[in-house]
Amino acid sequence: MSFSLTIFSVLFLTCICLLGVLALRLARKVRQQQRDLGGLSESLQRSRENAEEQKNRLAERSDLDRAKDEFISTVSHELRTPLTSIRGALGLLSSGLLGNVNTRSQNLLRIASTNTERLIRLINDILDLERMESGRSPVNLRRCSLYDLAREAVEMMSALAEAAQIRLELNSYAAHDSIYFDADPDRILQVVTNLLSNAIKFSPEGSTVSVEIDANADALSLKVIDRGRGIPADKLECIFDRFQQVESTDSSKKGGTGLGLAICRSIIQQHGGLIWAQPNENWAQPNHGNSGTTFCVQFMRSVRIGDSVLPSVATPVVERGEGLILVCDDDPGIRTVVCEQLQRRGYDVIEAGSGEEVIALAHEQAMRDAPAPTISAILLDHYLPGLSGWETLRQLKSSATTAAIPVVILSVSSPSERPLLVGEAQGWVQKPYNESLLLAELGRVLKSKAGTVKDGQHNLRSSHLTV
């Protein structure tokens, strides 16, 4: 009996000890879980705080993006508007049609004109780059021939190459029916001309700049090869960044904005392609002199081999005009320049400084009895105080007495930024413009109007002309 009690006591004590151990372990596990829960709670709180901070940052960034867009729009208008007047006035003075200019004055006018064009290029490059990177410059794809675009670029740059004593050559190693692809032809042409301009700028006199086209079943490639000083290996990538030059003195010595290659990369990326720079194959050969650089562009093929290219639209020829043109711009300087340019070409002009004046003058001229001249076309700035250009255009088109008068928009914006309203106008000229582009677009619109009257049809068309 005593022995059984002893065994029972030992077992009981053992159970008590085991229960105690289990209780301790359970307590430790509970405390650990509590600590874990506390850590999770803290992590969750930090995550919430981080999410709120990210949300605030995104809101701030969105506000900054809107402010940037507003700033770019303001800069576009406030800089391009006076530059339009400056460019036009300098052109009129340089032409000598307003009076003879002595040699010294002519040289000063040339300097002013050159630097005005340089400033316009800088503004256009900055705005183009910002629009592309913000997604506000859509790509208008259509069937293109890479060879035809390269040939057009070579023809456009031939005068610049000849002045620099550089020879341009174009070689295609692909079959004619294998070089078609889907792209925005204006943008691709911009890329090739930028690359050619860059190659000509840094090539020695008497050298050759080559453009090579090739294709395979998957991709098309274009190369622009120069025999200039070459680009150091550590600069081959950064030259595609904004305001980057191979040497710090290049901007002053060679000119340019430092944005051309950045624009090229943005355009090529929009097309899903690649662009890079590499040394020419003879880079490492001793005593070879300038071996130069090859800029390579590659497009993935997205159409079938053998597809035909859409016909291109020819640039209208500037001819002497006739008719009464109503010029509306709130800037008196621009009105003066435009009126002078039109009068020299043979047009009669009347001026308006606001949308209200345009509507009043248009109705007044339309109600006059023959043989009083009627308004042949209206050149209309769409940034106007009071009644905006868009509202003016809408009212003109909604009135039976003025709806038939063709309207050409004069704007610092491109028509792609207001696609729903472009169809209301018959023409579009982007500021700052040169005289020949303005007159060519006006002549095209007037010819279109004459054809419409003759055929009894209503033909609306818009055109984007830019410098």
pLDDT over 70 percentage in the chain: 76
47 plus 163 within the same structural domain:
no
286 plus 409 within the same structural domain:
no
Q: Which two tokens stand for residue 76?
A: 């576009």
Residue 278 reports pLDDT greater than 80: yes
Structural domain ending residue among the three candidates 83, 113, 137: 137
Instruction: Give the pLDDT score at 5.
Output: 60
104 plus 172 within the same structural domain:
no
Q: What's the one-letter identity of residue 161? A: A
**Spatial CB neighbours of 280, under 8 Å, sequence gap ≥ 6:** 225, 227, 230, 291, 292, 293, 294
More confidently predicted of 13 and 201:
201
Instruction: Kindly state whether residue 356 falls inside one of the protein's structural domains.
Output: yes
357 plus 373 within the same structural domain:
yes
Q: What's the one-letter identity of residue 326? A: L
Q: Which two tokens stand for residue 201?
A: 């700028």
Q: Which two tokens stand for residue 334?
A: 């621009």
pLDDT band at residue 457 using 50, 70 and 90 as cut-offs: very low
Instruction: Kindly state whether residue 451 falls inside one of the protein's structural domains.
Output: yes
Average pLDDT over residues 144-163: 90
Rounded CA separation 32/69 (Å): 54
Rounded CA separation 83/122 (Å): 12
Instruction: Give the pLDDT score at 406.
Output: 92
Q: Which domain holds residue 370?
A: 324-455
Structural domain ending residue among the three candidates 300, 316, 348: 300
Provide the 3-class DSSP secondary structure of residue 275.
Answer: strand
Instruction: Kindly state whether residue 466 falls inside one of the protein's structural domains.
Output: no
228 CB neighbour count, 10 Å cutoff:
21
172 plus 114 within the same structural domain:
no
Q: Which of 71-85, 162-176, 443-457 has the highest mean pLDDT?
A: 162-176
Instruction: Kindly state whether residue 318 falls inside one of the protein's structural domains.
Output: no
CA atoms within 13 A on the CB side of 289: 6
**Predicted confidence (pLDDT) per residue in 27-54, tens digit:** 788 788 877 777 777 777 877 777 777 7
295 plus 376 within the same structural domain:
no
Q: What is the pTM of this model?
A: 0.49
Rounded CA separation 304/140 (Å): 19
Instruction: Kindly state whether residue 107 falls inside one of the protein's structural domains.
Output: yes
Say which CATH number the domain at 244 has: 3.30.565.10
232 plus 296 within the same structural domain:
yes
Instruction: Kindly state whether residue 24 falls inside one of the protein's structural domains.
Output: no
Instruction: Give the pLDDT score at 36.
Output: 76
Q: What angle do the packed helices 355-367 and 389-398 form, to 10 degrees?
A: 20
Instruction: Give the pLDDT score at 467.
Output: 30
CB 328 within 8 A of CB 353: yes
How many domains are contained in the chain? 3
pLDDT over 90 percentage in the chain: 15
**Predicted confidence (pLDDT) per residue in 411-420, tens digit:** 876 655 554 4
264 plus 362 within the same structural domain:
no
pLDDT band at residue 192 using 50, 70 and 90 as cut-offs: very high
Which helix (DSSP H) or strand (DSSP E) does residue 224 occupy? strand 219-225
Instruction: Kindly state whether residue 349 falls inside one of the protein's structural domains.
Output: yes
**Predicted confidence (pLDDT) per residue in 292-341, tens digit:** 889 999 887 654 333 433 333 333 344 556 789 999 998 888 888 888 88
Rounded CA separation 315/391 (Å): 30
Residue 4 reports pLDDT greater than 80: no
132 plus 156 within the same structural domain:
no
More confidently predicted of 397 and 47:
397
Average pLDDT over residues 14-18: 75
Say which CATH number the domain at 451 has: 3.40.50.2300
Rounded CA separation 430/219 (Å): 35
125 plus 223 within the same structural domain:
no
DSSP 465: B
49 plus 78 within the same structural domain:
yes
pLDDT band at residue 372 using 50, 70 and 90 as cut-offs: low
CB 223 within 8 A of CB 293: no
Say which CATH number the domain at 58 has: 1.10.287
Residue 66 reports pLDDT greater than 90: no
Rounded CA separation 73/95 (Å): 32
Q: Which of 239-243, 378-382, 443-447 has the highest mean pLDDT?
A: 378-382
Q: Please, what is the Cα angle at 119 between 118 and 123, to 5 degrees?
A: 120
348 plus 440 within the same structural domain:
yes
More confidently predicted of 231 and 342:
342
Instruction: Give the pLDDT score at 76.
Output: 65
Instruction: Give the pLDDT score at 245.
Output: 63
Instruction: Kindly state whether residue 19 falls inside one of the protein's structural domains.
Output: no
More confidently predicted of 38 and 443:
443
Structural domain ending residue among the three candidates 236, 265, 300: 300
More confidently predicted of 203 and 429:
203
Residue 189 reports pLDDT greater than 70: yes
Instruction: Give the pLDDT score at 431.
Output: 77
